[in-house]
Every structure is written in C-alpha cells, then in structure tokens.
Structure 1
Amino acid sequence: MKVTIVGAGLGGLCLVQGLRAAGIEATVYERDPGITARFQGYRIGLGELGDSALRACLPRALHPVLEAVKGDLAGERTRLNHRLERTGADSSALAVAIDRHVLRHLLLSGIGEHVRFGDAFTGYEPLPGGGVRAHFAGKTSSIDSDLLVGADGIGSAVRAQLSPETPVEDSGVRALIGRTPLTERFAALVPGFGTGVSDGEVTMMLGLMRFRVLPGVLNAMAPELGLPEAGHYLRWVIMLAPDHSVLARQDLSMQEIALELTRGWHADVRAVIEDADRDNSVLLSIRTVSPAERWPAGPVTLLGDAIHATSPSGGNGANTALHDADQLRRKLIAVRDGRLPLADAVNAYETDMIDYGTEAVAHSLRELDRFRRPAAAR
C-alpha cells in the first residue's frame, strides 16, 4: 500500500510518521520551499486527543523530546481591568501547551527523505484499475498511489476538487495575535493559567509558552533533532467584532492597531505590544470550514483544516487534526493486516471524522459568538 499526503502541517506530518512506523509507504508533498518559508503560528493547547495521537504516531525515541518541549499551564484564569486591577478569576485549571513551530520540526525528525518541499499540488485523477494519480508543479510532476490524503489546510486544493461544495466561511471576526519574548515583567501579568485584560470594550488575552526545556538546550544534547531556536514567550490575542471601526484603518500596522485599541491602558500591557516580535505578530481573518455533503467514495480523503477548520476560540483545531492522523493511521493498519479493504477503511474513517469534525467546528463557533456582536451590544 502506498499513500500520498498533500500538506506538511501538523496533521500531514503526524500521519506520515505513524504510517512509516507501521511499515506503510507514505510521502508528504508540500508546496512551500521549506519548513521555515512562512509564518508558523503560536503555541497550542495540547489536549488528550492531540497528545495521545502524537504518542501513538511518533517513534518512542522521540517521546522524551515531546515531553521536554511542552509547557505547563496551571492556576486561575485571572481577570484584570485595563489598569491591571483584579476584577475576578475563573476556576483553576491544568493544561499543557506546545509551540506549533517547534512541534512541526519535531514531527519532521527522522522522515526528512519522505517529505518533499517545493511541490505544489495541482490536481488528481482516479486510475482505471484503482488508486489515484496526483499531479504537482515543482520537482515532482505526478505520482501514483493507493490513497491520496489532502492535509493542505483551510485553502485545500485537494478539497477544491474532491468536495467543491464545501465552502470556506468568513466569520467576520478579526484577531490580532502577537508573540512577545518573555521577561520577568511580562511573566508577572500571567501568574496562573492565563489572564484577560479588559476596559469593558476591548479584551486582550494573555498566555505563557514556557518550555520545560528550551529547544536550543535539546539541540545541544542531540544535534540531529534540528529543533528551531526558540525562547519562552507571551502569546496575546485581541479579537475584534466585524463592525469595529479600527478595521477600516488601512494606514495602521497590526501593532499600531493594537496600540490604538489599548490607548490609556497600563504601561506594562502597552509594552507587551511594543516589544512584540514583528515577524510573529499578525492580523488574521477568522475563517472556518465545516463538512458539507459527503463526497463520492474513492481513493481520496481529507484531514485537519482541509475539511474541518475551526475558530481558534475553540482551542481544538490542531488537536482534531492530530486525532484525524491517528484515526486514519489505525484504519490503514487494518488494511495492511488484511482486516479491512481499503475502501471500507477510508469510509469508516470519514464517517467518524465528519461527525467529530463537524462538532469541533460548531464548538469553536459557539465560543466565537461573543466576539460577533455589534460594538453597541458588547
């Protein structure tokens, strides 16, 4: 059995790790010229679904590294006003965070020869005798395999052909997301699980990414890991409703917008914005994809944001993509072992994935609703 995967994001790389470990031939094709070609995102909350998927798919030798690059989150979710006076707190919680960029490098460990960068997927065609031929623009022209997996994100070119009736929905909500190197001054803003700072109109959410072991230290002990150099940081988010007047200001940069929104706030909060890493701070449109009608059965399927892209307010997008990878891996192992025909395995995966993927998107949109209200109602 041979599997072609389009997209070297978290889900695609997790899948190829799991399949290669199971002795199933699998290769990832990625349009970007390299792993550092563009913005990689921020920390994610790693829940049980995502963590168990990673541990199932990664070689055991990498499990200690996975544990080392996590960050622990514990304590109250503190609420402060814009003068940094405490206004309340939510219940204490325990969780684990992990940096998306570092995790993506970890998922590349040991499989570099099976990840082809610089190959943009252009289309596919089912083969008369079974299987599928995928076409690319780049180093590869075409490749035949038994199964094609679209793991190519919210703008999926595989989904565009397989399920063109599945739309990308723009919520209208915009998110200012920043990353600021952690100092003692900034760490004091987040004494527990996380902190929300609000003036009654604008809310800024702060969270820590404090690695258990810095990636650079791990590289010094095991250079073959090739993890990116990364330090502890503060991740901050400001969500804006669709009608917010500042969105019409085309003359302002992302950080200028954030500073405009927090005019008159405590100097420590303003400094978080001023000191942010400009290469890792962006204004994002919150878009989602939810599975529509089931596409025709065949040798092509989807995983992750390609079929169920969630709002970041749900905190479940990456975890669901990693879960997809593990579930599809398990079904394909059943094919390898002669327990299921490939068509039945893919059908079983899609049936479950569409069900929980739809709920993941719905959950994230419920969490997003409070940011969609007109300014006068907030």
Structure 2
Amino acid sequence: MPESSPFKVIIIGAGLAGSLVANGLLNNNVSFTIYQRDSAHSKREGYQIRLGDSAVRGFKACLSQRLAEDIIGKFGQSATSGPTAPCLYTTQFQPVLDLTRLPSYSRSFAINRVVLRDLLIDPVVQSGNVLYGKSFSTYEIMADASTGSERVRVSFTDGSTDECDVLIGADGSSSRVNAAVGAKNLVELDSHWAFLSKGNLPKDRLEKLPVQLQKGPILIFANGVSFFYALYLPSKNKSRPNADSIAYNDTEASFYWGLNVPKSHVTQYTDFADIPDRLQFCQDIMRDWAPKLKSLIATGQDDSGSSGINVIPLRASFQPARNWRERVQRASGESGRGQGHARVWLLGDAIHAMQPNRGMGGNQAMHDCAELLPYLVELNEIATASGRAPTLEEIFVRCAKYEAQMMQRAFGWVRKSGGISIPTIDFDGILGKLVAVIDRLFIPVIWVVLRPFLATPHKEFAW
C-alpha cells in the first residue's frame, strides 16, 4: 500500500464490520488505519452469530477468495446439512412453526463470533494497519483556507491524533462516532434484561440435548419473555456432511442461549447486578416451562472455565431523516464544519443497531461493507489519477448514495426485528394454536404455489 497516497480512511472499531471493510480496502490498495479501543489480547466472548446471503455478499466484495472459503468452511452444520432457520415452540416445548418452511424466511449458518472476527482481522493485523488500545474521543474538520482543502482530525482519549479524508464509525451500538457526528439515533431498550450464556459441546453433551436442536435453533415467545437456544457444530473439514449424520469438530463446537426478561416481571431486584444467582433467577423465570427447557440453561454452568451467565444491554435504532446531516448542521450552527459532515460515515450497528430476534444485525452490517467499499475505491481512484485528495463534493455525493442504499435496506430489517420496542408475542395461547394449524395445513400449499417463482434454496454457500 503506497504510504504517500493522497486519500486515507480511518476506521473506528475492529469488530466484524470494521474488519471486513478493512480487508476490502487492503485488497484494493486504499490507504487506511483501523483503531480499536480494546487491547490486542483482551478477552472476547465467543457468542454465536448466524450468517446468510447478506454476509456472503460482504465477503465477496471485500475478501480474497481463499479467506472467504476459509470462513465458509467454519460455518456450522445441521441434520439438514444446509442453512437453517429457528423453529418456534411453546413453553411446554410443543412446536408452533418451523420457519424453514416459510418460502421467504431468511436462512443462515452459525459461526462463533470470535472465530469469525479473528479470521477477518488477521490479514489486517499482518499488514500493520491496526492500532489497539486507542479509544475514540472526537473529531474536527481541519480546513486550509489557502488551498481550499480539508481533512478530518481524529482525537483519541490518550491525547494522540491522526488525520484522514473519510472517517468511518464502525464502533457498534453504543457508537461514539454516531454521537459525535450528530446522528444520535441509537436507543437502549431498558425495558428488559438480556441474559446470555455459552459453553462447550462435546459429543456426550450433544447426545443429551433435544434432537430438535440438531435441525436448527429453537425460539420461544411467551408472556413478554423470549428464549433462543442454538448449537454451533463446525464440520471436521470443509466439505458438507451427509444429512444422515453429523460428524463435527467437538473441540470447536458450542451451544449458545439468550433469555430476555421484562423488568416488569421482576419485583425483588432493581439492578441485575443485585441478582446473587443468575442461573436460579433464569430458572425461576422459566419455572412453569417444560423441564427439558429448564434443564437446557443449566448445561455447562459447572464447567471449568465457564463464563457463566452474562447480562448485556439491548440496543436498537430508529431511521434518521434522509436530510439528517443538513438538519444537524443547521442546528449546530457550524456550517457543516463538524456535526453532520459528509466526511464521517457510519457502518453497521453504529447506524442501524437492531434487536437480535431476526439474527440480521451482523448480516446487515456486512452487507453495508459491500455497498460502502466501491465508493471508497472510487474516491481513491480519483485521488490516484489526479494526485490530489477528493473534494468535499466528491465525497458528499458518494456518502449520500451509500446512505440511501443502506437505510432503505437495513432499516427495513430494524423494523422487522421490532424497531425500538421489544415484541410481546405469546405463542402459549390462542395465537400459538392458530399458527400451528396454519403451519400444518397451509404452508405446504403455499410452498407448492410459490415454489416455481422462488429462487432455489441454498444447499451451501458457493463462491
């Protein structure tokens, strides 16, 4: 990568989206530096993420074929050997709806977040373009009146600075870049507590779990509570297994579950930090559920090295107005020199955080990369051909195109995931019975009618 390039990008955040777009810049010889708040050796929880077509679109745009194939080779498998979707159940573990039977439901493969992140960030680390332990503080637009040029000066909490032509905030659902640029559309959903846990999955443990989990995740909505349980079963090699059996790498395999509990259901605690025994608390929430479901959350809690049950904040977002940048500039009175500036772009959860129940947050973030990268490559080509940094107008045009594409697509998924209010669906009552009848009687008919008009479902992700 040429050190004297007249165009440079700074990325804040080395998570999945930041690392993916960094690969794209690296592979297209665009000068960049990625800054990560955590240290290079900080402990990261390996919760599961499910990837589908949107993520693969990002892989194809940003990665070398070899790295993309390495990642796809790490995808989890199921008894169907293809991409899966959750199956809805009642709290008595009675099936309500198998979402894989819906013609339009987005299917996906599981992968461990840490495995994916390590694969994505490794080429960027090898290039020397990642700086760890650097926490973003603020930015300012530095204009040179004599030449009419300008740059973004990025400041970090340790007092250091760096400059670039485009700053990309990929710093997640609590994004400081989002707040600094004035979008301020990220919302904490403080009506619920989200309990998460994961653990190892040796063969003897898999045999004790409900066989339904080998076909795909299970999902329960009841009385304001939601519960998700899924397995990650990576293949021993890159080839897909036969549907008759699962031969998986049990040293990398894991289970993952999440339980969202309305605070209104809890009277004895005002803060989750006050809960002395989180396992017992979760089992109490599930006290009237089927014993098989209650036993699931106790799996692996006594393992040595278990991270136990963690509680995380839930965040979502609302869609900014199309002219949000102009509005912010007018309100700030800075004439576009700071807040709302087109040289500051937002990526992934930093702009469209969404609830996890549709499993599309990471997928849409990686789809962003496929749409954002070509515009950065264009700007770099302008700079290379002209020998000068791109003008604000050239950057503004491409920023506007990227945001228009991204918002139309991603915020549709934000709304499908519940927007900024958590769904209160209850499948234990009449609704569950009605949906179960529709699943058994009408879905097969819908499939027959629509199948000729639908794309062939993926058996595996081909490059």
Both structures adopt the same fold (TM-score exceeding 0.5)? yes
Distance in 2 between residues matched to 1:336 and 1:201, nearest whole Å: 49
Gap change, CA 1:150 and 1:37, over 3 Å in 2:
same
Q: Which of the numbers 260, 267, 276 marks the counterpart of 1:252?
A: 276
CA distance in 1, matches of 2:192, 2:110: 24
**Corresponding letter in the other structure for 2:349:** D
Matched, 1:31 2:55: no
2:410 matched to which residue of 1?
357
Counterpart of 2:20 in structure 1 is: 14
Question: Does the C-alpha gap of structure 1 residues 100 and 280 become closer, same or farther in structure 2, counting only changes over 3 Å?
Answer: farther
Residue aligning to 1:162: 181
Q: 2:264 is paired with a residue of what secondary structure?
A: coil
SS in 1 for 2:100: strand
Q: Are 2:316 and 2:419, in contact at CA under 8 Å, matched by a contact in 1?
A: no
- Deviation track 1:212-235 (CA, whole Å, cap 9, x = no partner) reads 2489xxxxxxxxxxxxx9621222
Deviations 1:264-305 (A, max 9, x none): 655544443223454263223322123434223431111111
| 1:132 counterpart SS class | strand
Which residues in structure 2 correspond to 1:133-282 (within 5 Å)? 133-138=153-158, 141-163=160-182, 165-170=184-189, 172-182=191-201, 183=205, 184-186=207-209, 188-196=211-219, 204-213=227-236, 231-245=252-266, 248=269, 250-263=274-287, 268-276=292-300, 278-279=306-307, 281-282=309-310
Match of 2:350 in 1: 306
In the alignment, which of 348, 362, 372 is matched to residue 318 of structure 1?
Answer: 362
Q: In 2, distance between residues paired with 1:145 and 1:207?
A: 42
CA contact (8 A) 1:47 1:319 kept: yes
- After TM superposition, the structure 1 = structure 2 runs for residues 315-354 of structure 1, keeping only pairs within 5 Å, are 315-338=359-382, 341-354=394-407
* Aligned counterparts of 1:150 and 1:39: Cα–Cα separation in 2: 22
Q: 1:288 aligns with which of 291, 311, 316?
A: 316
Quickly say closer, same or farther: Cα 1:367–1:89, change in 2 above 3 A.
farther
Tell me the distance in 2 between the aligned counterparts of 1:307 and 1:83.
38
Specify which structure has the higher proportion of strand: 1
- Inter-CA distance 366–29: structure 2 relative to 1 (3 Å threshold): closer
Sequence identity percentage = 24
Per-residue deviation at 1:237?
A: 2.2
C-alpha RMSD of the superposition: 3.3
More deviation, 103-112/56-65: 56-65
Show the counterpart of 1:53: 58
Q: TM-score, normalised by structure 2?
A: 0.69
Partner AA of 1:152 in structure 2: D
Show CA shifts across 1:110-146 (max 9, x none): 21121111011111111202221101134x7111111
Paired residue for 2:336?
none
Runs of 5+ in structure 2 lacking a partner?
A: 1-6, 102-106, 144-148, 239-249, 326-339, 432-463
1:238 partner amino acid:
L
- Partner Cα separation in structure 1 for residue 319 and residue 403 of structure 2: 10
Mapped partners of 1:82, 1:309: distance in 2: 28
- What is the aligned partner in structure 2 of residue 226 from structure 1? none
Deviation at 1:372, TM superposition (A): 7.8
CA contact (8 A) 1:214 1:230 kept: no
C-alpha deviation, 1:377, in angstroms: 12
Residue 376 of structure 1 and its aligned partner are, at CA, apart by 12
**Counterpart in 1 of 2:73?**
68
Counterpart selection for 1:92 from 100, 104, 112: 100
How far is the alpha carbon of 1:347 from its aligned partner? 2.1
- The DSSP-based 3-state class of the residue aligned with 1:92 is helix
Superposed CA deviations along residues 54-88 of structure 1, whole A, max 9, x for unmatched, are 2321222212211211013547855555565x444
8 Å contact from structure 2 (residues 9, 168) kept in 1: yes
Cα distance in 1 for partners of 2:50, 2:343 equals 33
Secondary structure at the residue paired with 2:70?
Answer: helix
Look up the SS of the partner of 1:133 in the other structure.
Answer: strand
Contact 2:197 2:307 in 1 (8 A): no
Unpaired runs of 5+ residues, structure 1, are: 216-228
Which runs of structure 2 are paired with 1:125-136 in the superposition (5 Å)? 125-128=140-143, 129-136=149-156
1:15/1:345 CA distance change after superposition, 3 Å: same
What amino acid maps onto 1:158 in structure 2? V
Deviation at 1:247, TM superposition (A): 7.3
Q: Is the 8 A contact 1:185 1:268 kept in 2?
A: no
Q: What's the CA shift string for 1:12-49, capped at 9, x where partnerless?
A: 10111001100101111011112543435x21221211
Judging changes above 3 Å, is the alpha-carbon distance between structure 1 residues 263 and 351 closer, same or farther for their aligned structure 2 residues? same
Paired position in structure 1 for 2:133: 118
SS in 2 for 1:119: coil
Q: Is the 8 Å Cα contact of residues 92 and 193 (structure 1) preserved in structure 2?
A: no
The offset of 1:172, in angstroms, is 1.4
